[in-house]
């Protein structure tokens, strides 16, 4: 397997894999760019559901790569950097740290191996981007605060008990269990799945950093558009612009 992110498609399911096992699947700039491309490919293609996972069973990801810090990690997060209306099923094992917890938080369904530990250590490090704030909208407030403020690990079993995880399975079975969910989702009406996910997204509260990321994404779609280039060119050439909506 090559590349920091793999995209495999079969049975109308996209399997998106963070693939840096030698770096404990740390998230660097290349991972961010390829995850953005993967979510965009999911949106534009025929796959109806995605499974988000990582290579290996001992570490989903240790979070940001401190040797190549991705200061725009938010761009790789589904629902923030890229609007993804198709269901996303997470399959995690081992350490799920920092940005990895943000990814898990954004999944619609989540399968965890028995050895999974969710950790958000920013309070112990002295830095945080705040994207994880909406964890408090998905699990009880006090459990979220315990996890975030103490910076101590949340086990797979505890995560299941508080409703963050749908299923806990033996190590090595998390991908198969996630694919089972995905296969059943792929059989359902796509428009209904997308509508319900979109409506639920309106109900779930979003933190300030998440809202800022969404706003930045929407603004970037304009500032990076062909219409902007056409508008600037038309201004310089003293003619009426011909906008394409792209």
Per residue of the chain (246 residues), give pLDDT as tens. 689 999 999 999 999 999 999 999 999 999 999 999 999 999 999 999 999 999 999 999 999 998 899 999 999 999 999 999 999 999 999 999 999 999 999 999 999 999 999 999 999 989 899 999 999 999 999 999 999 999 999 999 999 999 999 999 999 999 999 999 999 999 999 999 999 999 999 999 999 999 999 999 999 999 999 999 999 999 999 999 999 999
- Domain contains 213: no
User: Do the Cβ atoms of 56 and 20 come closer than 8 Å?
Assistant: no
Cα R_g (the chain), whole angstroms:
19
- Domain contains 139: yes
Look up the domain containing 126 and give its range: 5-206
- Domain contains 202: yes
- Domain contains 246: no
- Domain contains 244: no
**pTM for this model (two decimals):** 0.94
- Domain contains 93: yes
- What residues contact residue 24 under an 8 Å CB cut-off, 6+ apart? 59, 61, 62, 95
- Domain contains 240: no
Say how many domains are in the chain.
Answer: 1
Which CATH number goes with the domain that contains 28? 3.90.226.10
**Angle subtended at Cα 103 by Cα 109 and Cα 19, rounded to the nearest 5 degrees:** 105
CA distance 76 to 25: 14
- Domain contains 218: no
Burial class (CB in 10 A: 0-12, 13-18, 19+), 15: buried
């Amino acid at each position: 397997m090559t590349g920091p992110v793999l995209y495999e498609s079969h049975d109308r399911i996209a399997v998106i894999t963070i693939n840096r096992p030698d770096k404990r699947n740390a998230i660097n700039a290349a991972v961010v760019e390829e995850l953005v491309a993967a979510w965009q490919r999911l949106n534009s293609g025929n796959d109806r559901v995605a499974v988000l996972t990582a290579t290996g069973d001992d570490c989903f990801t240790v979070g940001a790569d401190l040797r190549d810090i991705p200061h725009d990690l938010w761009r790789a997060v589904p629902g923030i950097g890229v609007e993804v209306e198709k269901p996303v099923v997470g399959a995690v094992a081992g350490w799920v740290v920092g940005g990895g917890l943000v990814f898990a938080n954004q999944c619609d369904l989540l399968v965890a191996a028995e050895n999974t530990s969710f950790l958000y250590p920013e309070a112990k490090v002295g830095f945080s981007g705040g994207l994880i704030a909406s964890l408090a909208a998905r699990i009880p407030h006090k459990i979220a605060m315990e996890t975030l403020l103490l910076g101590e690990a949340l086990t797979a079993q505890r995560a299941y008990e508080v409703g963050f995880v749908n299923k806990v399975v033996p190590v090595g079975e998390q991908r198969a269990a996630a694919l089972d969910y995905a296969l059943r989702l792929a059989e359902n009406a796509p428009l209904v799945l997308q509508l319900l996910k979109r409506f639920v997204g309106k109900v779930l509260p979003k933190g300030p950093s998440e809202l800022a990321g969404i706003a930045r994404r929407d603004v970037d779609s304009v500032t990076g558009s062909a219409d902007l280039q056409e508008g600037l060119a038309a201004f310089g050439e003293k003619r009426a612009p011909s906008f394409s909506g792209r």
